[in-house]
């Protein structure tokens, strides 16, 4: 009887959480700023385009920043908050590899929005990050999708809140699905979002285990393509500087396309968590589908980004609209 009661309470709490989440993202809409800042999208686009022309890293850095922000405390721009004592989300070891260009993109886009007197302090940093992310995806050849707006910025950012909230490069399919499902994202969403690894780079210290110390039976991960192993070992020899960068997509690293999935078919996924999508039969069909149909991948990615953008959002009287993206008002 006691267990039944506990189960009922747990179910009720889960129902409340899901209800609150659905109410929150139900308040998001693509034309949220039509009266307060009607040209918000063009203001953000111009600023992001200028930044992108200065450095390509703008694209993968902004995209990764959005993902990391949404996965910790929801899409509330708390990842942008700075802490004087190094105790904010951005200071966690899992976030130290986030390139500064992503943060800079949001700061520049915020300045552009606030330069319009009608828009000043009317648009949240969380919404600016969501819009900037759509722009970098489109600028590199990915889909241009509608962005739901109306998020408020979070006031809290703690180092501890990042712990065990981001997928690891050694995750298997069950671990990936569990982590994404907790945020209301399906396996298809997860596989589509993993396709973001078609852009950007990682570092040698993230893959050296697969090359030199995989397990007691094999020093090299047997799921890796042999020619790719030789290529990676050349770029990441033993005792190399761990900060040396390697492209996530060895074929078209500067283009948002479905090459990521074609690479997985050939054993060229940089992380275990990439390659598992092909080696595990439960996800292989989706990988094969995206590899054979670039349009289907882009459509699935756009849907997944919309779903990701709804995770844990603050709306209405929750949160605030930060005057400075790096600190609470």
Active site residues: 68
**Residue that the structure tokens 């969403």 belong to:** 189
**Residue that the structure tokens 């459509």 belong to:** 299
* SS3 letters across the chain: CHHHHHHHHHHHHHHHHHHHHHHHHHCCECCCCCCCCCCHHHHHHHHHHHHHHHCCCHHHHHHHHHHHHHHCCCCCCHHHCCCCCCCCHHHCHHHCCCCHHHHHHHHHHHHHHHCCCCCCCCCCHHHHHHHHHHHHHHHCCCCCCCCCECCEECCCCCCHHHCCCCCCCCCCHHHHHHHHHCCCCCHHHHHHHHHHHHCCEEEHHHCHHHHHCCCCCCCCCCCCCHHHHHHHHHHCCCCCCCCCEEECCCCCCCCCCCHHHHHHHCCCCCCHHHHHHHHCHHHHHHHHHHHHCHHHHHHHHHHHHHHHCCCCCECCCCCECCCECCECC
Q: Measured on CA atoms in the order 135, 141, 147, 153, is the torsion positive or negative?
A: negative
CB 307 within 8 A of CB 187: no
């Amino acid at each position: 009887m006691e267990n039944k009661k506990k189960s009922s309470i747990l179910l009720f709490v889960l129902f409340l959480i899901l209800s609150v989440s659905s109410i929150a993202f139900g308040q998001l809409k693509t034309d949220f700023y039509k009266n307060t800042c009607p040209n918000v999208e063009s203001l953000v686009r111009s600023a992001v385009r200028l930044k992108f022309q200065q450095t390509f890293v703008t694209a993968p850095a902004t995209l990764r920043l959005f993902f990391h922000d949404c996965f910790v405390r929801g899409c509330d721009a708390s990842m942008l908050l700075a802490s004087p004592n190094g105790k904010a989300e951005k200071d966690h070891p899992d976030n130290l590899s986030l390139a500064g260009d992503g943060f800079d993109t949001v700061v520049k886009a915020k300045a552009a929005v606030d330069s319009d007197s009608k828009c000043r302090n009317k648009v949240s940093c969380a919404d600016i990050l969501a819009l900037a992310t759509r722009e970098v995806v489109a600028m590199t050849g990915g889909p241009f999708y509608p962005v739901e707006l109306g998020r408020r910025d979070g006031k809290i950012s703690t180092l501890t809140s990042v712990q065990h909230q981001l997928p690891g490069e050694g995750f298997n399919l069950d671990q990936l699905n569990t982590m994404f499902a907790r945020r209301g994202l399906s396996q298809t969403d997860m596989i589509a979002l993993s396709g973001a690894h078609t852009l950007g780079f990682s570092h040698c210290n993230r893959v050296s285990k697969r090359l030199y110390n995989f397990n007691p039976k094999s020093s090299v991960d047997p799921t890796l393509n042999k020619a790719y192993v030789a290529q990676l070992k050349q770029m990441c020899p033993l005792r190399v500087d761990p900060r040396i960068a390697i492209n996530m997509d060895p074929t078209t690293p500067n283009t948002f396309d479905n090459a990521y999935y074609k690479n997985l078919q050939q054993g060229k996924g940089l992380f275990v968590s990439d390659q598992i999508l092909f080696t595990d039969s439960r996800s292989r069909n989706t990988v094969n589908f995206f590899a054979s149909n670039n349009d289907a991948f882009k459509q699935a990615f756009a849907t997944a980004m919309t779903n990701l953008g709804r995770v844990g959002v603050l709306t209405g009287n929750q949160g605030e609209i930060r005057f400075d993206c790096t600190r609470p008002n």
